[in-house]
């Protein structure tokens, strides 16, 4: 694409992003807010593709548009009444002043930025050319993003994986691993049963999900093990694999998903930790073989093969952790308050419908 074409598409995408963000600001119905934020993430992903950041776009499409929307819906379903948003009356003017001042300062700073797309900008000098020429030579991995992620910045990625794992531990601490003491959701009786029966008749959704799930899982494995040659890697694959299982859980009910991953979440609980252990274990192995921590050169006779092997193993560890953390978080958030056996219907469907009803009632009440 020519420079002008890229810039024109760029402008269009940025305009759409701004409109959706303002929409989120102005909307008070929280169900609508969550859905629009899913659209916003999808637009972000399109923008990242245009910026040549294919790996990032991949992640954003799977995480932002998929997973975080589902998690927010689950949280909304758990916090059903009182879910209308409102303004802080007292904070309205101070908030505007702070926003204005911060904006002014940032705008002033942005004047010194190098132009967009400039190959001579300082950010594109120094390290980046070195990564691009040296990285694939030293590792036989052509995807430079994967090389930098798993090898050059291996310490950093280990840290990120631990952060993701810690987040899962925090969610489990807050909401409980075994839902023994979790409060039972108030409305899980007749209405939900009825809704579940109604949902059972949605044969198209159920059949398509059944056919789609294996392909999503297969695609996740492809993304995982092809991440060194094309866009992809542990983070993306983990999220996609989890998304496949979560889709199954949403359509067929949490209990059916629990049958897959084990009651009391036994499997994901262990595998999430195993991923971090595998990553750190590769580091320890390279220490034992006489190299530095996470220096993959010593893992094989040929240092280049060693690098490739190390990158694959480390990415697999990341994938394991991310998959299981996402499944755990979904199960704890969406499964909270469900009694075993009573409700196996789709989560939050009633809350969503209720929201739409509320909105309509509101409109009718205020004809002006």
Binding residues for other proteins restricted to 191-250, rule: CB under 8 A: 229-231, 233, 235, 238-239
CB 296 within 8 A of CB 304: no
Which region, judged by CB under 8 A, interacts with other proteins, from 82-90, 189-197, 208-216, 341-349? 82-90
Binding to other proteins, residues 3-42 (CB under 8 A): 3, 6-7, 10-11, 14, 17-18, 21-22, 24-25, 30, 33-34, 37, 40-41
Binding to other proteins, residues 148-177 (CB under 8 A): 148-149, 153, 156-157, 160, 163-164, 167-168, 170-171, 174-175
Q: Is 317 in the site for other proteins (CB under 8 A)?
A: no
Q: Least distance from C-beta 100 to other proteins, angstroms?
A: 8
Which region, judged by CB under 8 A, interacts with other proteins, from 44-52, 188-196, 197-205, 348-356? 44-52
Q: Which of 47, 241, 248, 279 binds other proteins (CB under 8 A)?
A: 47
350: Cβ contacts below 8 Å, ≥ 6 apart: 77, 187, 191, 192, 195
Residue 184, CA distances (Å) to 78, 117, 214, 215, 273 in order: 11, 54, 33, 35, 29
Please state, in angstroms and rounded to a whole number, the distance separating the CA atoms of residues 211 and 199.
18
Q: Is 63 in the site for other proteins (CB under 8 A)?
A: yes
Binding to other proteins, residues 266-305 (CB under 8 A): none
Binding to other proteins, residues 106-145 (CB under 8 A): 106-107, 110-111, 113, 115-119, 121, 123-124, 127-128, 131-132, 135-136, 142-145
CB 246 within 8 A of CB 70: yes
Q: Is 84 in the site for other proteins (CB under 8 A)?
A: yes
CB 40 within 8 A of CB 16: no
CB 269 within 8 A of CB 177: yes
**Residue 301 in tokens:** 């006779």
**Residue 340 in tokens:** 């075993």
Q: Least distance from C-beta 307 to other proteins, angstroms?
A: 15
CB 347 within 8 A of CB 274: no
């Amino acid at each position: 694409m020519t420079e002008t074409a890229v810039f024109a598409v760029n402008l269009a995408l940025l305009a759409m992003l701004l409109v959706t963000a303002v929409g989120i600001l102005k909307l008070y119905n929280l169900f609508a807010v969550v859905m629009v934020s899913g659209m916003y993430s999808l637009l972000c992903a399109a923008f990242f593709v245009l910026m040549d950041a294919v790996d990032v776009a991949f992640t954003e499409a799977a995480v932002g548009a998929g997973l975080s929307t589902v998690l927010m819906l689950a949280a909304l379903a758990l916090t059903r009444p009182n879910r209308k948003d409102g303004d802080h009356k007292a904070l309205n003017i101070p908030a505007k002043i702070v926003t204005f001042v911060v904006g002014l300062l940032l705008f002033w700073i942005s004047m010194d930025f190098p132009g967009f797309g400039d190959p001579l900008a300082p950010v594109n000098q120094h390290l980046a050319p070195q990564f691009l020429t040296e990285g694939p030579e030293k590792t036989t991995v052509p995807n430079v993003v994967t090389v930098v992620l798993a090898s050059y910045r291996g310490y950093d990625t280990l840290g990120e994986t631990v952060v993701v794992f810690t987040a899962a531990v925090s969610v489990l601490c807050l909401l409980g691993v075994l839902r023994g003491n979790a409060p039972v959701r108030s409305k899980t009786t007749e209405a939900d049963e009825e809704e579940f029966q109604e949902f059972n008749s949605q044969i198209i959704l159920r059949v398509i999900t059944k056919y789609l799930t294996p392909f999503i899982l297969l695609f996740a494995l492809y993304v995982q093990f092809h991440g060194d040659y094309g866009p992809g890697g542990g983070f993306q694959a983990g999220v996609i694999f989890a998304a496949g299982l979560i889709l199954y859980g949403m359509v067929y009910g949490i209990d059916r998903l629990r049958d897959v991953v084990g009651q009391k979440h036994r499997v994901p609980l262990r595998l999430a930790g195993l991923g971090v252990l595998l990553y750190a274990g590769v580091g320890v192995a390279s220490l034992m073989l006489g190299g530095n921590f996470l220096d993959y050169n010593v893992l094989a006779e040929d240092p280049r093969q060693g690098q490739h092997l190390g990158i694959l193993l480390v990415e697999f560890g990341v994938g394991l952790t991310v998959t299981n953390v996402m499944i755990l978080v979904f199960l704890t958030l969406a499964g909270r308050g469900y009694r075993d056996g009573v409700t196996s219907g789709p989560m939050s469907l009633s809350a969503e419908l209720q929201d739409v009803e509320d909105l309509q009632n509101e409109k009718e009440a205020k004809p002006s």
